[in-house]
Amino acid sequence: MGYYVKVEPDVKIYVEDVNPGGDKTILFVHGWPLNHNQYEYQFNVLPGKGYRCIGMDLRGFGKSDKPWHGYCLDRMADDVRGVVEALQLKNFTLAGHSYGGAASIRYMARHAGYGVSRLALFGAAAPSVTQRPNFPYGQPKENVTALIENSLNDRPNMLRGLKDIFFFQNVSTALGDWFFDLGLVAAGHSTAKVAQSFRDEELFSDLGKIHVPTLILHGIHDKICYPELAVAQKEGIPDAKLVWFEFSGHALFYEERDKFNSELMKFIEH
């Protein structure tokens, strides 16, 4: 079931709601530069286990509106709040990958975890994607600046190159094309502006404001959000559990999908 939620007078967010009758709800927030379809291999399985799986496309991506404005963590968190209120979600698990993980963390801090009983982070882009004086573990800032420039000058080529560092395992040409197509659906300006957001914004002060059980899943071969980010999340979030994925890069939701689904269900059930 797909529908739109208005989060601003001129902005609608697309929501895919699978198994609305499920008794355990997960709201999935996707990573950059994809959309909710990245979770296909979760939506294939979890609804059959009794879960209501909701995927939202962040503004600028997938089927959501693509305005010129609003590509910062505060606005993304407010968009999540708009979806939560429109669907009247309560006692749900908020689950975010990469930039979607950063937006989920900002939601927890900015909106005091409204309605959320558990938080799940997958290769999350927090507390900082880029290196800082007090945090040397991120990407060199010039690497992300190059992504921004490439997004604005030859976005298809940028997406082809991104695939090579997104996955650790070899994937089929067809699956690489699928990944490419997910990224291509986004607007070019949205792709660049969100990259600016994760280059320049940080979430150090947000981590300590999370007061629900938190699951951190992270690939040890992640070349986008380095494993040190997961360690910092574990240290900064009071009630957090970290599970490493030994055969995954940034795409652990696909590369070790059976383990991913199992760990997520186990976390929600206990």
pLDDT tens by residue, 161-180: 999 999 999 999 999 999 99
Looking at residue 91, its pLDDT comes to: 98
Task: Exactly one of 57, 151, 222, 248 is catalytic; name it.
Answer: 222
Residue numbers of the domain that contains 237: 2-269
Specify the number of domains making up the chain: 1
189 is catalytic: no
181 is catalytic: no
Q: Which CATH number characterizes residue 66's domain? A: 3.40.50.1820
pLDDT tens by residue, 47-72: 999 999 999 999 999 999 999 999 99
Helix, strand and coil in the chain, % to nearest 5: 45, 20, 35
pLDDT for residue 25 is more than 90: yes
pLDDT tens by residue, 176-212: 999 999 999 999 999 999 999 999 999 999 999 999 9
User: What backbone torsions phi and psi does residue 150 show, to the nearest 5 degrees?
Assistant: -70, -35
Task: Exactly one of 98, 104, 151, 190 is catalytic; name it.
Answer: 98
Q: Are strands 240-245 and 214-219 parallel, antiparallel or unpaired?
A: parallel
30 is catalytic: no
Distance CA 36, CA 58 (A): 8
Secondary structure of residue 45 in the 3-state scheme: coil
pLDDT grade for 103, boundaries at 50, 70 and 90: very high
For residue 47, give the amino acid letter.
Answer: P
| DSSP H or E run through 112 | none
Closest CA to 191 of 143, 150, 249, 250: 150
Among all chains, which residue has been given the structure tokens 């997958």? 122
For residue 37, give the amino acid letter.
Answer: N
pTM of structure:
0.97
Distance CA 176, CA 170 (A): 10
Is-contact 27 46, C-beta < 8 A? no
Indicate if the alpha-carbon torsion angle 108, 198, 182, 166 is positive or negative: negative
98 torsion bin: left (phi>0), alpha (psi -120 to 50), beta (else): left
| DSSP H or E run through 69 | none
Is-contact 31 100, C-beta < 8 A? yes
| DSSP H or E run through 164 | helix 155-166
Task: Exactly one of 30, 36, 97, 250 is catalytic; name it.
Answer: 250
pLDDT grade for 151, boundaries at 50, 70 and 90: very high
Q: Taking all residues of the chain, what is their mean pLDDT, rounded to a whole number?
A: 97
